[in-house]
Amino acid sequence: MKKVCHKEAMKIISELNDKKTRLINTELREKTVRYRDGESRPTGGYSYQKTRDEIKKLDAEIRRIKHVLAKANCAVMLDGFDMTLGEGLVYLAQLTQEHERIDALANEMQTFVSITANGVTIHNDCMYDVKKAEADAAALNSEIGRLQVAIDRANLVNYIEL
């Protein structure tokens, strides 16, 4: 067994996924051979079964590490937040989505007046305070940053056995 921090475990998962991608790309390149009439068929180095076995092995290892990491994420508490690392990851996604929505609202003009081709004046007024949306977007951005730091810290200082 090997003791690694959460960040190292994620790095191992990434490396295993990269290895799987390279294996699949090699398969795509080498799964067929070309030759002309009258030439003998090249043997090539591709093996369907060997490739399946290697992918299966990589997938099993990725699943194992992700499972250990997921279990740890349910136990590790985030500094400055009353939630586990796993909850923090969900919360981060929620905050990021909310920030995108609020930021779009903050980028609107409070009032906009236009004139149609036939000379009619049209007023467009936001039904909310754009300045409040700007302040809320800034506060969300700050909270996201604080949460990201707590998550990064937890991923660096907490260890799991692989």
* DSSP-based three-state secondary structure for 55: helix
Q: Which pTM value belongs to this model?
A: 0.83
- At 43-57, the pLDDT tens digits run 888 999 999 999 999
Burial class (CB in 10 A: 0-12, 13-18, 19+), 151: buried
pLDDT, tens digit, for every residue of 88-146? Answer: 999 999 999 999 999 999 999 999 999 999 999 999 999 999 999 999 999 999 999 99
